[in-house]
Amino acid sequence: MEVPQELEEFVTRNTWYNSDEDLRAYANGIGAYIEKNNPNLPVKEILKRVEDKVKQTFPNKFKVSNTNSSVSSVISSRNNSVVGGSPKKNRITYNDLPQEAKQIFDIVVKSNKNPNGRLSPEGYLKDYAQITGMPYEE
């Protein structure tokens, strides 16, 4: 089977696809989702959307070294903010997820259609936090 040229270009441009198992798994899942919901979309456009979604969903995997401290300080200040006089729990919630991650959550946690069985909400959030570098304290 011949690999489409657009896919070869995508993999060449996005070296993370072959080197980062988590990003590859997310890219494959979101690609299938985009293709299913947009059956007439050209392959090149699907791959562009996948690339954009991966970078949007996992910004910490694409940080530029000179911006690390400013990004980290923004994340730290958000996670350590005080609301109503008590510290915010250092854990992501469903509401913290981007739309695409919420859709995947709904499939793997809430749906019986997941071929690998259901995942607990805590399990999904913990895995997502680990992959993205977001906080998740037990």
pLDDT given at position 21: 87
pLDDT given at position 8: 87
| CB of 49 closer than 8 Å to CB of 34 | yes
Greater model confidence, 72 or 125: 125
Q: How far apart are CA 103 and CA 108, in angstroms?
A: 9
pLDDT given at position 124: 78
- Cβ neighbours of residue 33 under 8 Å, at least 6 residues apart? 100, 103, 104
Q: How far apart are CA 93 and CA 102, in angstroms?
A: 10
Model confidence, pTM? 0.49
Highest mean pLDDT among 4-8, 35-39, 66-70: 35-39
Average pLDDT over residues 53-81: 59
pLDDT given at position 88: 53
Q: How far apart are CA 23 and CA 130, in angstroms?
A: 12
